[in-house]
Amino acid sequence: MLMIEDKDSPGIQAIYEACYTLYSDQPTPPQVTALQKFWLGGPDPLDFISMYENNGFKNNANNDFESSCAHWHYITYGLSDLYGDARLHDQSSSDGPSGFGFELTFRLKRSNEIKAPLWPAMLLQSLARYLFRSQAKFAPGDHIPWGRPLEDTTNCSKEDEEFSKCNSRITNMLIAPDAQIQRVYSKHGYIDFFQVVGICDEEMQLARRWSGIEMIAAMRKRVETGGSLLVTDMRRGESLNDLEGNFHKNEGSNLSGVTTEVSWGRWGSLEEIIDVVGEEEYVPIKNVQQFPQTPFYGINISPGTLELLHPHFLENIHLKISKDAGEIMFSAITDRLKFQRHFTFLHCRSDMAVTLVTENITGTFVSEDKPYGFRGAWLQILVNKELIMEMERDFANLKKIETNTLPLYFRYSKFKLLISVHLSDSLDLDKYPLDNEDIIP
């Protein structure tokens, strides 16, 4: 049980009071608690996960939102600074974010169970481990590829386990603001509440190609997709596209970037390349493991400082991305670059970013004469119309490629550009900086 009178835990008290405002009839909710705290060497970053019964939301004539069904509401403790003593988070001021600046919530449709299922708590712990490991941050509209039903079947009933293995379409997640818990403040900063929403593969592609924020608004208006409270139904069969028809807008995507795994460096000699997509002749590979990285890899640079850095240019470039980023690349080309809009791949474990731009985009430091330039940890790649057409052709069917065929190499010799696609866990993050001789004066 949470002891909110503990004066040494202002973060816990702030979250508890926010929950109590919503659930005053449930002052001592069931909780999943880490057996060994993360700050004592345990594997689970979240100290607690509270589980509440929610009777749902009934629509009326005064709002545009659909009803939401009865469900279980899970709320985490641990992504924000619970204690304020630097045991897990750097100490911060009262007007800034507390820890990560948010906690996660999840809403699961209730069936006939008496107790809240435990698998959502395990899912939230997994997401928390990712956040602590990568130091990334979630924001509303972010989408999370999961690749399998969200249930941890080791904690499911036999009936739910069989359903999960065979039928559940809910295999990915979207981040949304929690509709019932607003930002709260402790003396160590503010805490937002971001809800994890289960979505299917079709909706995942829609979020990538269109806009996660717009998807959230649309899903709130359909009871089938969770209603106003975005309740996840693991047995949902229809996607948003099934319900709404052609939901993707023709004017291109509003999604300007994603967080993923990406690195870059100078494209070396042709002897370094094998299995190049679209080329008839292949040559043996020599040393794939060593891959040059930006000189400012892993260094925090503020936007103001970044503006002061002088841009440097490269004659050629090797862009190295994960398979997930490769699948997103097709959407970036067809829904952003073809509409003269930029797209950014932000590295999930560093400050590095790669932005693809076209000739008509203003505010860039690259040009037709110098299409590859970097400023600090930020790389820009200019993609002209001819290169857009070639990349669209090559990346169109990447989703169908089996992972055991990776890595794949897309070589655009005319443009002195190489793009390689790898398994996420094979991307080598121990990089060395570019040599000065690689840089164009």
For the chain, which domains are there?
Answer: 10-244 (no CATH), 257-440 (3.30.1360.230)
d(Cα 413, Cα 318) in Å, to the nearest integer?
Answer: 11
183 φ, ψ to 5°?
-55, 135
What are the helix and strand counts (H, E) for the chain?
9, 20
Q: Could you tell me whether strands 143-145 and 48-54 are parallel, antiparallel, or unpaired per DSSP bridges?
A: unpaired
pLDDT computed for residue 295 by the predictor:
28
pLDDT computed for residue 282 by the predictor:
32
d(Cα 359, Cα 376) in Å, to the nearest integer?
Answer: 22
Q: 353 vs 344, 348, 378, 422, CA distance in Å?
A: 7, 9, 5, 18
Torsion angle of C-alpha atoms 280, 281, 287, 293, degrees rounded to 10: -50
Using only the alpha carbons of the chain, give its radius of gyration. 24
Question: Do the beta carbons of residue 81 and residue 28 sit within 8 Å?
Answer: no
Closest CA to 374 of 418, 318, 312, 315: 312
Helices marked H in 78-220 — which ranges? 119-134, 158-166, 201-209, 212-220
Report which secondary-structure segment, H or E, holds 20.
helix 10-22
What would the two tokens of residue 403 be? Answer: 């992972």
Angle between helices 201-209 and 212-220 in degrees, nearest 10: 130
pLDDT computed for residue 411 by the predictor:
93
d(Cα 308, Cα 376) in Å, to the nearest integer?
Answer: 10
Question: What single-letter DSSP state applies at residue 220?
Answer: H
Question: Do the beta carbons of residue 169 and residue 198 sit within 8 Å?
Answer: no
pLDDT computed for residue 256 by the predictor:
67
pLDDT computed for residue 106 by the predictor:
98
From first to last of the 441 residues of the chain, give the pLDDT tens digit.
444 444 458 899 999 999 999 999 999 999 999 877 777 778 889 999 999 999 987 766 555 556 889 999 999 999 999 887 766 666 666 778 999 999 999 999 998 899 999 999 999 999 998 888 777 888 898 888 888 899 854 444 444 444 444 478 999 999 999 999 999 998 889 999 999 999 998 888 888 767 788 889 989 989 999 999 999 999 998 998 888 766 555 445 666 677 778 888 877 643 343 333 433 333 333 333 333 333 223 333 444 444 456 888 999 999 999 888 888 898 889 888 998 888 888 876 666 789 999 998 888 889 999 999 998 888 999 999 999 999 999 998 886 777 778 888 999 999 999 999 988 655 553 343 344 444 454
**Which residues are paired to 92 by β-bridges?**
none
